[in-house]
Structures are given as structure tokens and as C-alpha cells.
Amino acid sequence: MSGRPEQLFPLFANLETLDGVGPKTAQNMAQLGIETPRDVLFSLPYAVIDRRRRDTIQGADLPSTLTVEVTIGAHRPPRNRGGAYRIHVEDSQANFQLVFFHARGDYLRKILPEGSRRVVSGKLELFDGMAQMVHPDHMVAPEEAGELPEFEPVYHLTQGVTQKTAYKAAQSALARMPETQEWADPEQVKQKDWPGWAEAMRVAHHPKGADDVSPFAPARERLAYDELLAHQLTLALARQRERKSRGVVSVGTGRLQSRVLGNLPYRPTGAQARAIEEIAADMASEARMNRLLQGDVGAGKTLVAFMALLVAVEAGGQGVMMAPTEILARQHLEGLRPLAEDAGVVLEILTGRDKGGERKAKLAALARGDIQILVGTHAVFQSDVAFHDLRLAIVDEQHRFGVRQRMELSEKGQGADVLVMTATPIPRSLALAQYGDMDVSVLDEKPPGRKPIKTAIISTQRMDEVVAHLRGAIEAGKQCYWVCPLVDESEVSDLTAAEERFKRLRAILGDGVVGLVHGQMPPAEKDAAMAAFQDGQTKVLVATTVIEVGVNVPNATIMVIERAEIFGLAQLHQLRGRVGRGEDASTCLLMYQPPLSEGGRKRLEVLRETEDGFRIAETDLQMRGAGDLIGTAQSGLPKFRIADLERQAGLMAIAQSDARALLSCDPKLTSDRGQAARVLLWLMKQDQAIRLISVG
């Protein structure tokens, strides 16, 4: 597997090896991310124009694109500068005009001489009762008309690249396609009646109508599957290597777990019990656990995580739980402390704040094994931090750990099992794209005793009512979050929105009642403002979205989100989940600035109707698309050229099980299908996977 298979060389050659692509065009195409003939193939047409020849324009519904043979009649140059140059033409039954602006008359006379026959193709429209074709797309002599495709594919263009150039380049790239062996699952291909890869490419670039450019056309679906399969093979190879690296066997006795469960005022939900079982089974096996615990806001992830940590302790080892920030680490500590007391285990925290003697003492206790469970920030990964016997690392994955960080994390733990927690419900197709190398446990039930949150949609014009409502709640001893939007990217305005609101609320509600946190504050000030709110000193916290994750203030029962229509659905759902954590009924007020767009209204209504994060995420995916949903740039979500995650969600799951099945019967990819899969990985530029195979 030393290098790229020879059969793919022509597809990875220089762009200028294609017909009609010179240095300038190649430069322009590079703007679209097209650097080789392979990239040309993967830039499929997004529409198709029917250029089948007609006998006459008579009886056609206008406007429409028509192709017809005509006799060229009289030329009428413009009367004044900037006017239109018109040429009268006749087909077998009707006449119309060709119209040109800024035209050079001598050029038009040369290519369209009066009395000659030409095939013209372009958009024909009625203008003042006269049919006219402005700037035809094609004007050729009848003997050359055979070169006009009956159905012309339409490509995404960039400056300096015409449809003609794109079409020619695509045809030329198609001519270099190697015949490849089948890498897809033969059953799948048979069941779906898919063409082979090369055939699918040819069909996709020669659409015969609108159906052929839809994601559901068999050729398109096949090509999307290939792309997803390559991606899932890469993840499956990473997973295979992970699982091969031996884990530690941690078998829990259940002794500590039963103490905690015995003291709970309620029974764990079915989903929690199932997740605890799956995790315990992974920890007891020889392969290293690499599991994702996905749970909606308030689905009780903390309990599941703690049970997993107890398995590590029961087996005679230690567990660590990492959070992205100091605030969240302290909060995990608060959440776990009562459970640790029930279990009688030693729980400690380590963050960047620990200095000097105190830090030394903690490190010594950790190395001796006296601290059984450690909570911390990334500080737990500094080189002087040594565990006595680390069995489990839990990452609170709000900062999107990529596959690579997960690999680093497990290397530090010498075989420690890894559990990643995320509070973002992600639709299944995206979860597979992003975490396909992991096994997933989902918490999709809410523990009993969680009060539903009443959600209302209110126009900003009713601001005074909202503030009055707020005052009443404060007098009744309640607390409230008030979230301001990031108006645009610049930090200045983010500040002004929140600071203006802060000043206005302070003026109305009184000094010392209102606190403020925003992204540009020094961390210490932010922590202080959060702490004052958590302790109930301030009653209203005005914030930009820095509060969406993890903060727990049971006494806060009102969440006001200003300009809710400009937030993403998932974000609104996360923000709303900050209230409804105590005994009392809670409200979330979504304030919008009228007029509300159709999409904006639909988004807010989904929130009003449901608290199910997975349903909300599915809606979000349909409305906004995969890239926006998890901010493609920082999500490590691959950019697919053909596959459409919103509309082809089901294919991702098929690709994942195919990839895992292929590797389980052919771990080194040496069989015929395995060899074909290697070609696929090279074709899809999956360098990471190729490295994994060549080492593996």
C-alpha cells in the first residue's frame, strides 16, 4: 500500500491535461477547490437543460429553453448606442428575433450571414408580443449541431469558467476513468440496483432530466454512498486500531453502585439503566472502550457517568472526569459530591488554580491512589500528573473532541477506557459522520420529577410586560437569565447589546440585582459574576451565550432570549435547558423582532411544541443543513462533495455497518473487495485511513 494505485494516476494528474483547460482556467477552477481531474468528476451538475431539437417554436409554452433550426434573415443594427442588435430568423413554421446587446455587427454578420441555416438554442421569451431569444447559448451550423448534447448538464461555475469549459472538462475527465473493482457490498448494490462506480459517474454527468440530478437518482445515491463508505472506513479503521490496542479489564462488583442507587429518591430511567449496562460491559472487556454518551438536556448523564466511575473504583482503579472550563469542572464536582458521599469514595478536583503546596499534596495523593475520582480541566493532562491506576477517562465533550484528540487522550491513559459525554442531541446521520469510530449510548428519556418548561413566543414590542413579569418573579424570590444575541461578528456590538440591556434592567430593577457576563470579560470577572448569580446575590444575569452549557442554578426559573429568531435551534434548546432544574415551574420567553420570516417562525414554533432535543435537532438539520448545524469549520465534520447528509441520512448508517462488516471479515483489506476498498480510500483522499492501513 506504499503509494497511490497506478490506475488512479490519470485522475490525479494536472488539470491542464484535460481538454480545453489552460493555465488560466486551471487557476480559476482551483478557486472552486478543483485541482485534479478527480475533483472535476466529483463536481456533479446541479441542473440539466433540455436541448432536444424541435421542428418549430410554434405552440411552445414561453418562456422556455428551445433548440430549433432556422434561416437567418435581415440584420437590424441598433438605432442608438446601447440599443439592441436584432436579427430576424425563421424556422419551419414561425419567426422570431435573436437579440444582442453591446454587439459587434461585423462579427455577427460573419457568423450569422443572411440566408444561412443555423441551429440556435437558448431561452425564448415574449416581449411586446414578439418572440425573442436574447444572447442564444448556442449558434452552430447544422452539420456541427451533433455536438450539442440533447440534455446539457449545468455546473457550478466560478469567474472565468463558462458552462462550455466545465462541460468539456467533465467529458474529458470521464474519458480517463479507470474501470475499478466493486468495493461496495454486493448485496446492497443488487438490492438498490445501483450501477458500478464508473458507470454511475458517467450517468451522473449525463442527466436526462430533472430526476437525474436529484439526490435520489440511483447513480447519485451510489456515488454518495461511495463517499460515505470511504469516510466510515476511515473511522472504522481508527476504531479497529483503538480496539486492538488492549484496554484494561475493569469488572465492577456493584457494591458501591448499589449504595448510590439505594439512596436515590427515584429509580434510574430505562435509558440510564441500559447505558450503565453497555458501559460496564465495555469496561469489562479486553478491548478498550471508546463510547459516546449522548443525552438531551436534563436526561441524567451525571448519574450514568458516576456509575461508570464507580466501576473503575470497584475494580481497584481510578477514574477522571474532564470538563472544558473551570466553571464546569466545579459544577461537575458539585453534582458528584453527594453521590460520592453515598458511595463513600474520595473525590477531588484539580484545575489550573491549584498551586504550590496544595497542588503537590493532591498529586501525591493521586499517585498513591488515595484519590479515587478526580474531576478537572485539561490541567489533569500536564506531565507531572500521574495516576496510580487510571481505568476510565470521561470527557465532557462540549468542546468537540475530534478523532485525533480522542486518540491522544487514550494514549495518555495506557489503555484506560474512554467515555465521551455530549449534551447536544445530534441526528443519527450526523452522529455517525462525526463519531462513527465510537459506540454510542443514547439517553432519550427524562428522569421523573423534571417539570416541563412553558415556552412562549413574544414580540420585542411587549418588552415592558416582560420586565414587569420579571419584577414580580424576583419579588417572589426567583432568578432569571436574560440572553442577548451576538448582533454580528464584531466584539463591540456583542458587548453593546448585552451592556445596554444590563444598564436598562439595572435602572428599572435597582442596583445589585442585575449581573452581566459576556465573552470579552477576563475569566476571573466572568467566574465572579457567575458565582454571584449561583449564590443568589444577583437575581438577573444578563449574558451572551457563554451560559449555554452546563451551568446549574436550580432557583432560576425564567429564561428570556432576546432576538431568539437569529439563534440556531440547537442553541435555543440548550439555553432553555438552563431553567427547569429546580422544584418550581419554569418559563422560557422567546422574544423576536417583527416581522418574523417563515423559517424563523417555524423554528420558534418547534421549540414551543416540544422539549425533545432529538426531534428539534432533526428539524434543525432539515432547515439549516449539516454544515451550519454543528459549525462545520470547527466540528471536524468532513465536507462531502456529493453526499447530502440532510436528505441521505439513511445511507450513512448503511455505510457504517458495511464498513464495520468488511473490516471484521477482512481487517487488513487484502481480499478482492478489500483491495477495491483501498482504491476507494485513495480515490476519496482518505490519507488518514491510508496511514492506518499501511502501519496496521
CATH (domain of 130): 2.40.50.140
- Which pLDDT score, from 0 to 100, does residue 487 have? 55
* Residues 261 and 348 both lie in one domain: yes
Domain boundary among 610, 636, 671: 610
Q: Does residue 170 lie in a domain region?
A: no
- Count how many domains the chain has: 3
Helix and strand numbers (H, E) in the chain are 25, 22
* Judgement on whether residues 475 and 433 belong to the same structural domain of the protein: no
Give the residue from 416, 443, 470 where a domain finishes.
443
285 assigned to some structural domain = yes
The residue written with cell numbers 445501483 in the block is 194
In a domain, 527, yes or no: yes
Tell me the residue range of the domain where 433 lies: 255-443
Choosing from 382, 410, 443, the residue where a domain stops is 443
Q: Is residue 636 part of a domain?
A: no
**Residue 59 in domain:** yes
The ranges of the chain with pLDDT < 50 are 1, 399, 494, 548, 626-636, 696
Residue 429 sits in the same domain as residue 501: no
CA dist., res. 119 & res. 473, Å (int): 77
Domain CATH code at residue 516: 3.40.50.300
Q: Are residues 430 and 294 in the same domain?
A: yes
Task: Tell me which residue has cell 454510542.
Answer: 440
Where do we find the cell 449525463? Answer: 206
Can you give the pLDDT at residue 676? 94
pLDDT for the residue numbered 436? 73
Do residue 283 and residue 324 come from a single domain?
yes
If asked whether residues 424 and 553 sit together in one domain, one would say: no
Asked if omega into 37 is within 30° of 0 (cis), the reply is: no
- Sign of the C-alpha dihedral computed for residues 207, 210, 214 and 218 taken in this order: negative
pLDDT of residue 412: 55
Q: Are residues 473 and 418 in the same domain?
A: no
Sheet hosting strand 290-295, strand order edge to edge = 347-350, 373-376, 318-322, 390-396, 417-422, 290-295, 439-443
Asked whether residue 98 is domain-assigned, the answer is yes
Q: Report the pLDDT value the prediction gives residue 635, as an integer from 0 to 100.
A: 41
- Based on the fold, state whether residues 378 and 516 are members of the same structural domain: no
**Taking the mean position of all CA atoms in its chain, how far away is CA 556?**
31
pTM of the model: 0.66
How many CB atoms are closer than 10 A to CB 256? 23
pLDDT attached to residue 546? 60
For residue 382, give the nearest of 398, 359, 407 by alpha carbon: 359
Same domain, 434 and 550: no
132 is a domain residue: yes
Query: How far is residue 73's CA from residue 76's CA, in Å, rounded to a whole number?
Result: 10
**Phi (first) and psi of residue 196, to 5 degrees:** -70, 175
Q: Residue 185 is which amino acid?
A: D
Residue 386 belongs to a domain: yes
Looking at the fold, whether 296 and 433 belong to one and the same domain comes out as yes
**Pair (344, 382) in one structural domain:** yes
Q: Same domain for 408 and 509?
A: no
